[in-house]
Structure 1
Amino acid sequence: MTKILVLGGGYTGVAAAIRTARGTRRTGGKVTLVNASPRFTERLRLHQTAAGESLPDHSLDEVLAGTGVVFVRGRVAELDPGRHEVRLDDGRVLGYDKLIYALGTLTDASVPGVTEHAYTYADHEQAVRLAERLDALDTGTVIVAGGGLTGVESAAELAEARPRLRVVLLTRGRPGAMMGDRARAYLDAALDRLGVEVRTGADIAKVLPGAVELAGGELIHSDVTLWTTGTRGLPVAARSGLALDARDRIVVDSALRSVSHPDVYAVGDAAAVGLPFGVLHGTCQGGIPTGLHAADSLAATLRGRKPKPFRFGYVHQPISLGRGDAVIQFTRPDDSPRRWYLKGRAAVRYKETVSSSPFPTFRLLKRGLVPVGMFALTAGRG
């Protein structure tokens, strides 16, 4: 029997666990998935939860039913790849022969005051707390820090769902800076229509209880601050002794094995995956394929075969602009924009198709019907 641990029960971890269980069934694999919450959280939709939308609740036991994967609820406190052990915060120790690390990343809270005074999308519970705080405001200002995809979607969703509130998007560059000119112009117009105040060139130096302070000393009043700028690997990865990059992501080879400890595979946001066009950035579009590829690499290794190298190319950049609008920028494999884009209702239908509930995909995985390559063409980006 080969003891295989999968750490993390998000999109990538669940996909990896199901695929690994199926792929190692004949070689004696016993797969255990560890996650701090019994709930499966659709992280791509946390901005909807923050805006007050009630989403379906799914347990990991339900998601994993019939796969042979054992679910253990617990928060990972320490990872010791030298001893092949994982310690949970309640003191339990789990041993492993092979491990898939899918714990993701945390919002980079290196700016003073973020931890104490800002909300992040750390988990479903924090998104719920943000929604409750916004419910308590009759009027007021919400600052969304960060002009990336998460920041833009959050600002649009909050402005549409809570029109009584003033929503200010603070960003160093332009929102949607990676998109082509026409798609970006549509995005700008949509934010303007929703009443989102966009302030570019904003370098936030500090988050205060009722304001944010810019690098020049200017204070901008804020009743609620949502922080969406940048991510880092978890402290447990930094303490593990694994080889990491500058953002504390686990550096992996072409089979997605740690370059320092090859019995550890890293996937999703937590992995620094080198590709010809650069390091893969953390999105669902790239995350699930890494989980499936790591599962296949691990299964191949247990059968005495050489794993295939990971291949991936981006297809699109879908961005929701509230519930009734969206813009889709189609891309080259290196994520640079092509000429084509979708907007409006057509873009909404497209995005809901490619980044809707993952459960149909999980059901296909249980039956062994989803090849890795499928996700390079269909996975969404939140």
Structure 2
Amino acid sequence: MVLGAGYSGQLAANLAARQDGVSVTLVNERYRFVERVRLHQVAAGQDLRERDLGELLAGTGARLVVDRVTRIDPDAKRVELASGEPLAYDVLIYALGSRADLDSVPGAAEHAHGVASAEQAVALRERASSAGTATVVGGGLTGIEAATELAESLPSLKVRLVTGDGLGERLSERGRRHLRRVFDRLGIDVRERVLVERVRADGVVLAGGEHVPSDLVVWTTGFTVPSLATEAGLAVDARGRMLVDETLRSTSHQDVYAVGDAASVHRADGQELRMAWATGLPVAQQAVRAILARRAGRNPRPVRFRYLNQCISLGRRDALIQFVHGDDSPREAVLTGRIAALYKEMIVRTALTVQRHPAVPTSF
């Protein structure tokens, strides 16, 4: 049984279901597969094709259950659903992902818009169409993509980005220079090394008391994971992410595996892998292979993982491809401009292709 049909969960279900003698049930709240890496495009008013999970699972024999998981009982090996029907499993893959952390700052849940779910992106699109000013809080990749997409698609919208770090601080010098040029070209104001203390209906209040007026606040800083693993008594870290060993198996329950944002996965050198679809896809493949290896009486291989690049959309006509070392630290080399935008689009399309053809190797 696989819980969650994001990039990691849907891929794991699809790959496992193609194996002889394996019966797979995929549980997800929606029929639709959400291309989360495109949600900033939805927020900016672009229409994207909806992807049906049944289409992506076609021909695999996997059973799709559209329902919300309310409880996991790892001792009884059972999952309880909002509909009231419990489901039993032999092996569980926990892939419930993450969501925007709108509870970390007072007022964010009431007045800010996230961009981490399809519903949030649609709500943001409706609000942005009539707003005059927008403040994007968070200078990570999600914040950068949201700010540039909004500024390019809605030129009448004045966009500001507020970040506790420097803009593009984790990029190379060449990457930061290009990012500055794009922000200048799109007219995006940047407030660096400042913290938001409160969100109000009319903007944000910074640490120190300064009020920054805004018609719209977009919250992209911080993510949280569902509490189901914690509530089930599974071993988790301080953020509620499931602790797994070098084969993606729960450190506390041998019949449970975890992939994607809801899993705390480490490289052999101890580095924790970041929350990203670039992490989740290859890790999901390795988890299924570990399960199948144990099923066949073999010892599974430990996780092997290295990063290649970070792909950052800067609107539809520009992007930044930051090449990185295996530990995700930046190299000086970057790819920018139109060719980088085409590169990023190719990677996004590949991520969707992998959902239909899960045996395709993934390395982003």
TM-score (norm 2): 0.96
Q: Does 1:151 align with 2:143?
A: yes
Q: Does 1:181 align with 2:173?
A: yes
Aligned partner (choices 110, 115, 133) of residue 116 of structure 1? 110
Aligned partner (choices 10, 15, 30) of residue 14 of structure 1? 10
Q: Does 1:96 align with 2:89?
A: yes
- 1:141 and 1:167 in contact (8 A); partners too: yes
- 2:133 and 2:214 in contact (8 A); partners too: yes
Give me the whole-angstrom Cα distance separating, in 1, the residues matched to 2:241 and 2:219.
20
| Letter matched to residue 337 of structure 1 | P
- Give the corresponding residue for 2:326: 333
Aligned partner (choices 117, 121, 129) of residue 123 of structure 2? 129
Alignment of 1:154-165 (within 5 A): 154-165=146-157
Q: Deviation per CA, 1:113-149, whole angstroms, max 9, x where unpaired?
A: 1211111124212211110111233xx2111110000
Give me the whole-angstrom Cα distance separating, in 2, the residues matched to 1:197 and 1:81.
49
Give me the whole-angstrom Cα distance separating, in 2, the residues matched to 1:72 and 1:170.
40
Give me the whole-angstrom Cα distance separating, in 2, the residues matched to 1:60 and 1:145.
32
Q: Does 1:208 align with 2:204?
A: no
- 1:102 and 1:267 in contact (8 A); partners too: yes
Give me the whole-angstrom Cα distance separating, in 2, the residues matched to 1:242 and 1:234.
13
Q: Deviation per CA, 1:232-271, whole angstroms, max 9, x where unpaired?
A: 2212223121111122111100110010112111001111
TM-aligned CA deviation for residue 90 of structure 1: 2.2
Q: Does 1:375 align with 2:362?
A: yes
Aligned partner (choices 227, 240, 244) of residue 235 of structure 1? 227
- Give the corresponding residue for 1:324: 317
Q: Deviation per CA, 1:207-242, whole angstroms, max 9, x where unpaired?
A: 112221111111111211111111122122231211
- 1:119 and 1:226 in contact (8 A); partners too: yes
TM-aligned CA deviation for residue 79 of structure 1: 1.6
Give me the whole-angstrom Cα distance separating, in 2, the residues matched to 1:213 and 1:228.
16
* Unpaired segments ≥5 residues, structure 2: none
- Give the corresponding residue for 1:222: 214
- 2:39 and 2:116 in contact (8 A); partners too: no
Q: Deviation per CA, 1:329-368, whole angstroms, max 9, x where unpaired?
A: 1010001111211110121121111222534223322xxx
* Unpaired segments ≥5 residues, structure 1: none
Give me the whole-angstrom Cα distance separating, in 1, the residues matched to 2:16 and 2:204.
46
Q: Deviation per CA, 1:144-178, whole angstroms, max 9, x where unpaired?
A: 11000000000000001111111110000122211
Give me the whole-angstrom Cα distance separating, in 1, the residues matched to 2:331 and 2:342.
20
| Letter matched to residue 152 of structure 1 | I
Aligned length, in residue pairs: 362
| Letter matched to residue 101 of structure 1 | Y
| Letter matched to residue 145 of structure 2 | E
TM-aligned CA deviation for residue 107 of structure 1: 1.6
Give me the whole-angstrom Cα distance separating, in 2, the residues matched to 1:175 and 1:152.
9
Aligned partner (choices 60, 64, 67) of residue 67 of structure 1? 60
RMSD in angstroms over aligned alpha carbons? Answer: 1.3
Q: Does 1:343 align with 2:330?
A: no
- 1:172 and 1:201 in contact (8 A); partners too: yes
Give me the whole-angstrom Cα distance separating, in 2, the residues matched to 1:143 and 1:31.
43
- 2:199 and 2:205 in contact (8 A); partners too: yes
Aligned partner (choices 295, 312, 321) of residue 302 of structure 1? 295
TM-score (norm 1): 0.92
- 1:12 and 1:268 in contact (8 A); partners too: yes
TM-aligned CA deviation for residue 277 of structure 1: 5.3
Give me the whole-angstrom Cα distance separating, in 1, the residues matched to 2:152 and 2:350.
22
Give me the whole-angstrom Cα distance separating, in 2, the residues matched to 1:92 and 1:188.
53
Q: Deviation per CA, 1:259-298, whole angstroms, max 9, x where unpaired?
A: 0112111001111011115100011111101111111111
Residue aligned with 1:242, SS: coil
Q: 50-59 or 301-310: which moved more?
A: 301-310
Give aligned-pair identity as a percent.
48
Residue aligned with 1:62, SS: helix
Aligned partner (choices 32, 39, 46) of residue 39 of structure 1? 32
